[in-house]
């Protein structure tokens, strides 16, 4: 079916979104990461004009990117943790033979019952509304941009996989974590293809654009920031997949609920591993770790798929995020809850003997959760008049933001 969407790039609805909805980031001319401020692309027109001249230039571009490597003695901390990682973090991985695979939750194409199983899957999917599918597609696209996340891990000093087959514990984790994650996008992609409710050509195009664009969330090769970011993100995906499972159940689809639930369980296990790394860093280097925590939260945890584009809507990431927030799949309050959860998990309030910079960061992260909730209450009042937007992923049908 041809796509009938005409969007005026100037008609952005971003101003209606809750403040927390992450924006594509660019930095202007600032070098110090202390002053990093996320901001919007200067002009979508400019991006489109650029791409006409250089067709292979990624659609989502971050024009100025900082590099802020950590000192050698900090890198040595990560090198010295290798044995600890082997006995405390690699244990969170599941042996491949014990892992679920996408086929366990999908119609079996090798059996005669395949047609019937697909019909049943589609019958259940017909009971589920469009806004749910927009949210699920956005989650699936985020999972499918996995090559970018492995790249991100391998940009970080002290933990990168130097050979692509390194037997260093950090590298073993990076590859095995990626291999576990790879099943998430596969399972959701295959389910969405079979359900017939979404325009897979548009969805696959969005994935291709996104992987081509990458991501930029201000980690700057710093492994402290990397693991704070991944601790936060794994919990965010645990919450969002958990909510899509709950909503699928409410729509009477226990099989889809099982699909989302089994992915959420993986995310939880990954969250436990990443937050344990941070727990150890707080033990070894409390001051440096709390300063990094403050730095990451000042930059805001920008979602990994922030450079998403579908070939039509330059604000599709904002629109998907707003739809997910409206549906209760992932909200500003979830963001604040994750932050508070991590503050408690890492006992940040109880840290003592910090430098002035450390105390400032400690105070900042401890009071940030309540501040976000207050701002969110005001944003909720503003967002009542949210528009409906056509999504190419569901054949141009409109969904309320």
Catalytic residues: 100, 143, 181, 184, 234, 237, 266-267, 270
235 binds Fe ion (CB under 5 A): no
Indicate if the alpha-carbon torsion angle 39, 44, 45, 49 is positive or negative. positive
Among 333, 316, 322, residue whose Cα is nearest residue 386: 322
Q: How far apart are CA 111 and CA 256, in angstroms?
A: 21
Q: How far apart are CA 137 and CA 121, in angstroms?
A: 17
Q: How far apart are CA 367 and CA 208, in angstroms?
A: 39
One of 59, 74, 183, 184 touching Fe ion (CB under 5 A)? 184
DSSP 260: H
User: In the bound complex, which residue of the shown chain has the CB atom lying closest to Fe ion?
Assistant: 184
Question: Whose Cβ is closer to Fe ion: residue 267's or residue 334's?
Answer: 267
> What is the biggest distance separating any 2 CA atoms in the chain, rounded to whole angstroms?
69
267 binds Fe ion (CB under 5 A): yes
Contact region with Fe ion (CB under 5 A), list: 122-130, 152-160, 180-188, 201-209: 180-188
- Which ranges constitute the DSSP H helices of 286-382? 286-299, 316-327, 332-345, 356-382
One of 161, 181, 253, 318 touching Fe ion (CB under 5 A)? 181
Residues making up the binding site: 143, 181, 184, 234, 267, 270
Residue 309: HSE in the Cβ half-sphere, 13 Å Cα cutoff: 20
In the complex, least distance from residue 308 CB atom to Fe ion, rounded to whole angstroms: 16
Question: Whose Cβ is closer to Fe ion: residue 198's or residue 264's?
Answer: 264
270 binds Fe ion (CB under 5 A): yes
In the complex, least distance from residue 153 CB atom to Fe ion, rounded to whole angstroms: 12
Other C-beta atoms closer than 10 Å to the C-beta of 15 total 7
160 binds Fe ion (CB under 5 A): no
Question: Whose Cβ is closer to Fe ion: residue 239's or residue 348's?
Answer: 239
Which parts of 89-148 interact with Fe ion (CB under 5 A)?
143
In the complex, least distance from residue 272 CB atom to Fe ion, rounded to whole angstroms: 11
Q: Which residues contact Fe ion by CB under 5 A?
A: 143, 181, 184, 234, 267, 270
């Amino acid at each position: 079916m041809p796509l009938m969407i005409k969007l005026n790039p100037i008609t952005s609805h971003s101003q209606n979104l809750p403040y927390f909805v992450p924006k594509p980031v660019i930095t202007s001319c600032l070098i110090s990461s202390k002053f990093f401020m996320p901001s919007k692309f200067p002009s979508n027109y400019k991006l489109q004009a650029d791409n006409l001249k250089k067709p292979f230039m990624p659609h989502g571009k971050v024009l100025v990117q900082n590099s802020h490597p950590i000192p050698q003695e900090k890198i040595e901390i990560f090198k010295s943790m290798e044995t600890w990682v082997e006995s405390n973090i690699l244990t969170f991985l599941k042996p491949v033979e014990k892992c679920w695979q996408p086929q366990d939750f999908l119609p079996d194409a090798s059996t005669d019952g395949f047609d019937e199983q697909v019909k049943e899957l589609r019958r259940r999917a017909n009971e589920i509304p469009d806004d749910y599918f927009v949210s699920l597609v956005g989650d699936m696209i985020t999972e499918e941009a996995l090559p970018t996340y492995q790249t991100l891990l391998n940009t970080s000093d002290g933990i990168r996989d130097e050979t692509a087959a390194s037997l260093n514990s950090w590298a073993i984790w990076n590859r095995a974590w990626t291999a576990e994650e790879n099943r998430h996008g596969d399972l959701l992609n295959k389910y969405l293809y079979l359900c017939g409710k979404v325009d897979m050509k548009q969805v696959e195009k969005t994935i291709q654009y996104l992987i081509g664009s990458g991501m930029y969330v201000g980690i700057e090769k710093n492994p402290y920031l990397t693991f704070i970011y991944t601790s936060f993100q794994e919990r965010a995906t645990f919450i969002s997949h958990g909510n899509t499972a709950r909503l699928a159940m409410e729509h009477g689809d226990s099989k889809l609920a099982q699909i989302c639930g089994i992915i959420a369980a993986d995310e939880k296990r990954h969250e436990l591993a990443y937050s344990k790394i941070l727990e150890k860093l707080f033990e070894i280097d409390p001051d440096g770790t709390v300063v990094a925590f403050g730095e990451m939260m000042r930059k805001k945890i920008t979602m990994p798929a922030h450079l998403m584009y579908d070939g039509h809507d330059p604000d599709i990431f904002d629109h998907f995020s707003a739809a997910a927030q409206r549906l209760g799949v992932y909200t500003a309050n979830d963001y604040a809850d994750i932050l508070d959860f991590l503050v408690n998990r890492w006992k940040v309030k109880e840290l003592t003997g910090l430098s002035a910079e450390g105390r400032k960061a400690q105070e900042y992260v401890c009071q940030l959760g309540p501040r976000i909730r207050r701002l969110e209450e005001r944003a909720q009042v503003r967002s009542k008049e949210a528009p409906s937007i056509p999504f190419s992923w569901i054949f141009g049908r409109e969904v309320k933001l």
